[in-house]
Copies of this chain bind each other. A is one copy, B any other.
Amino acid sequence: MVDIWFSQLDTENVKTSVRVEKQLYSGRSPYQQIDVFQTKEFGKMIVLDGEIVFSEADEFIYNEMVVHVPMAVHPHVRDVLIIGGGDGGVAKVLTQYPEIASIDVVEPDEMFIEVSKKYFPETAEGFNDNRVTIKNMDALRFLRRFRDSYDLIINDSTDPFGHTEGLFTREFYGNCYRALREDGIMVYQHGSPFYEQDEAAFRAMHRKAYKSFPISRVYQAGIPTCPAGLWMFGFASKKYHPLKDFDPKRWNDRNIKTWYYTTHLHRGAFMLPKYVEDILSEEENR
């Protein structure tokens, strides 16, 4: 039997390796290297430029946390923009909310969408809902045209250094702010500040969001395939506070089935380790 392992470099000095049963796909789009693996522990797994983007075993954590947290706070979300999200998982969770009228997915990489549809049909099912529109273009450019158009923006992009670099600039946060209605919320991937190499990007991200939005908080989830097993999300908002305006009863009455999110966990996710709180308040007081 061949012994194949895929390794993700969490840092130059730490790696997470997953035993591979079979490499299902490998290709290069104009934007990135795309690989799909069949693994024993995580099921099918998609890897972009060497980093695990999602696996069948733990994608529910990420998808639920970026959708249900803002949806349990904002009382009337109609129009949603997903930046990135080419796998359809976030869109799929959003389609459980009947009051949502439109979901725009801005994903420049068509090949990533095609690969997701082929190998992860259950996740990409989100694209079949007729409220979903896919725009194959650069999000920074797309956003410039919009004013007061969205109630919720979910920024699914992770990498501040690759082709999505522009989505981590101050201009980008400003554009998101303008594209949101007066009570809009933006949720974005914040990464983990545990490893020294990631701390600077984590700090810069919070500084930009904090300066661009009146309310800016960070929340966390444990995601096994993420570096250090810990992942953080930014909650930047024009009006609603993630805890003060949180309505657990309204959300629980919806009876949405989840595997990770609960309204208790919602509160707990905003209670952060001391070293993270210290980093955030240092950036706020700069």
| Residues of chain A at the chain B interface (Cβ within 8 Å) | 5, 7, 11-19, 39-42, 58, 61, 194-195, 220, 222-224, 226, 228-230, 258-262, 264-265, 267-275, 277
Q: Is the CB of B41 within 8 A of A11?
A: yes
Q: Kindly name the residue among A58, A220, A223 whose own CB sees the greatest number of chain B CB atoms within 10 A.
A: A223
Q: Is the CB of A12 within 8 A of B19?
A: yes
* Least CB distance, A55 to chain B, in whole angstroms: 11
- A277 touching B262 in the complex, CB below 8 Å, given contacts A222-B220, A229-B222, A268-B270: yes
Name the B residues within 8 Å of A224 (CB-CB): 194, 228-230
Residues of B with C-beta under 8 A to A272: 262, 264-265, 268
Tell me the complex Cα distance, A42–B265, Å.
Answer: 29
* Bound: A7/B7 CA distance, A: 12
Instruction: Give the top 6 A-B pairs by smallest Cβ distance, nearest first.
Output: A229-B229, A268-B271, A268-B268, A224-B228, A13-B19, A13-B41
Q: What's the Cα separation between A7 and B195 when bound, in Å?
A: 18
12 pairs, CB–CB < 8 Å, chain A vs chain B? A5-B15, A13-B41, A14-B16, A14-B18, A15-B16, A41-B195, A222-B228, A224-B230, A265-B272, A268-B268, A268-B269, A271-B271
Nearest residue (CB) in B for A19 is B13
Tell me which residues across on chain B come within 8 A of A229, comparing CB atoms. 222-224, 226, 228-230
Chain B, residue nearest A229 (CB): B229
A262 to B275, CA, bound (A): 10
Point out the residues of chain B lying under 8 angstroms from A222, CB to CB: 220, 222, 228-230, 273
Q: How many angstroms between the C-alpha atoms of A15 and B19 in the bound complex?
A: 9
- How distant is the Cα of A265 from the Cα of B228 in the complex, in angstroms? 18
**Residues of B contacting A273 in the complex (Cβ-Cβ under 8 angstroms):** 61, 222, 259-260, 262, 265
* B residues less than 8 Å from A7 (CB atoms): 17
Residues of B within 8 A of A267 (CB): 267-268, 271
Chain B residue contacts of A58, Cβ below 8 A: 194
Q: Which residues of B contact A271 (CB under 8 A)?
A: 262, 264-265, 267-269, 271
Q: Which residue of B lies closest to A262 (CB)?
A: B274
Residues of B within 8 A of A12 (CB): 19, 40
